[in-house]
């Protein structure tokens, strides 16, 4: 099938699922950072665990060739700095790029504004890219994965992530009850 058609179909499922979880609503997302509503964490990590287990087992069974799937590359300093900045922007805006589109699609004016802000931020950073370039390209480590970094088998990492997530979910439930 046409790759763009696949993209659109996957996008529809993505947007639908986000809205179902309520992640198209900024106050709900912001609640994560005041520990009153941990939906963001629950959805995100349930998704990560599911896709991680799926990718691991499908590749083990020879159904998916993970070497043909693009794995986001590691750039230590830029992703650390960019992550911190992103987090700051996230708690101010209450929406991330994907969820801002969902919010906008459901009529939220603040969602539209976040999208416009994102566009402006990307545009300005791109235009002023020259001085950033050296930093941007520093500390690259290629497609480094946690198993390679920690020098332990992928299966051990997978099990560890599942364990951490399940334990964290318990904490999340308790935190929310106290809120």
Partner 1 sequence: MSTPRRYADPYLTGVCLGLVLLAAFVFAGRGLGASGAFASSAAGVVAAASPSRAAANPYFARYLAGDGPWREWLLFEIAGVILGGFLSALFAGRLRASIERGPNLGRGSRLAYAFGGGSVMGIGAVIARGCTSGLALTGGALLSAGAWLFMMAAFAGAYVFAPFVKRAWR
Partner 2 sequence: MRRILAAVAAILGVLALFAGGAPERSADGSSAGPPKPALSEVEGARRQISAPASRWRYSRRAAGATFQTVAPVELAEWIRDRKPNLRVVDVRSEAEFDEYHLPRAERFTSSTAFAPDDTIVFVAGGERSVHRDVYVLRGGVHAWIDEVMNPTITADAPPSTRAAYERASIVSRYFGGVPRVVDKLPAARANATAVRRRGC
Decide whether 69 or 130 has the Cβ nearer to partner 2: 69
Angle at 13 between CA 122 and CA 110, to 5 degrees: 45
> Judged by CB under 8 A, which stretch of 17-25, 86-94, 108-116, 160-168 contacts partner 2?
160-168
Look at residue 163 and give the partner it binds from partner 1, partner 2, none, a contact being a CB closer than 5 to 8 Å depending on partner kind. Answer: partner 2
Look at residue 48 and give the partner it binds from partner 2, partner 1, none, a contact being a CB closer than 5 to 8 Å depending on partner kind. Answer: partner 1
Query: Angle between the 76-93 and 109-127 helix axes, to the nearest 10 degrees?
Result: 150
Q: Is 153 in the site for partner 1 (CB under 8 A)?
A: no
Could you give the CA distance from residue 92 to residue 76 in angstroms, rounded to a whole number?
Answer: 25
Identify any residues that bridge with 140 across adjacent strands, giving them in sequence order: 75
**What are the CA-CA distances from residue 52 to residues 21, 59, 103, 154, 175 (Å)?**
20, 11, 27, 11, 26
The one among 60, 87, 155, 164 contacting partner 1 by CB under 8 A: 87
Taking alpha carbons only, the member of 179, 130, 172 closest to residue 42 is: 172
Q: Is 154 in the site for partner 1 (CB under 8 A)?
A: yes
Within residues 24-63, the interface with partner 2 by CB under 8 A covers 46, 49-50, 53, 56-57, 59-60, 62
Decide whether 34 or 127 has the Cβ nearer to partner 2: 127
Look at residue 60 and give the partner it binds from partner 2, partner 1, none, a contact being a CB closer than 5 to 8 Å depending on partner kind. Answer: partner 2
Within residues 105-144, the interface with partner 1 by CB under 8 A covers 105-111, 113-127, 129-130, 132-133, 135-136, 141, 143-144
Q: Is 45 exposed, middle or buried (0-12, 13-18, 19+ CB in 10 A)?
A: buried
Q: Are 173 and 167 in contact (CB under 8 A)?
A: no
Q: Is 171 in the site for partner 1 (CB under 8 A)?
A: no
Q: Are 18 and 99 in contact (CB under 8 A)?
A: yes
Q: Which residues of the shown chain bind partner 2 in the complex (CB under 8 A)? A: 46, 49-50, 53, 56-57, 59-60, 62, 65-73, 142-145, 147-148, 151-159, 161-163, 165-166, 169
């Amino acid at each position: 099938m046409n790759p763009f058609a696949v993209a659109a179909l996957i996008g529809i499922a993505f947007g639908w699922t986000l809205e179902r979880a309520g992640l198209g609503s900024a106050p709900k997302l912001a609640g994560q950072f005041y520990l009153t509503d941990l939906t963001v964490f629950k959805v995100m990590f349930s998704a990560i665990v599911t896709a991680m287990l799926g990718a691991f087992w499908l590749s083990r069974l020879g159904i998916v060739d993970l070497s043909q799937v693009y794995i986001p590359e590691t750039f230590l300093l830029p992703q650390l700095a960019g992550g911190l900045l992103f987090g700051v922007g996230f708690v101010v805006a209450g929406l991330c790029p994907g969820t801002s589109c969902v919010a906008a699609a459901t009529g939220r004016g603040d969602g539209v504004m976040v999208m416009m802000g994102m566009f402006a931020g990307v545009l300005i950073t791109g235009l002023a890219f020259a001085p950033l370039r050296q930093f941007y390209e520093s500390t690259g480590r290629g497609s480094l994965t946690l198993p390679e970094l920690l020098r332990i088998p992928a299966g051990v990492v997978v099990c560890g992530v599942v364990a951490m997530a399940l334990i964290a979910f318990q904490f999340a439930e308790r935190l929310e009850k106290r809120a």
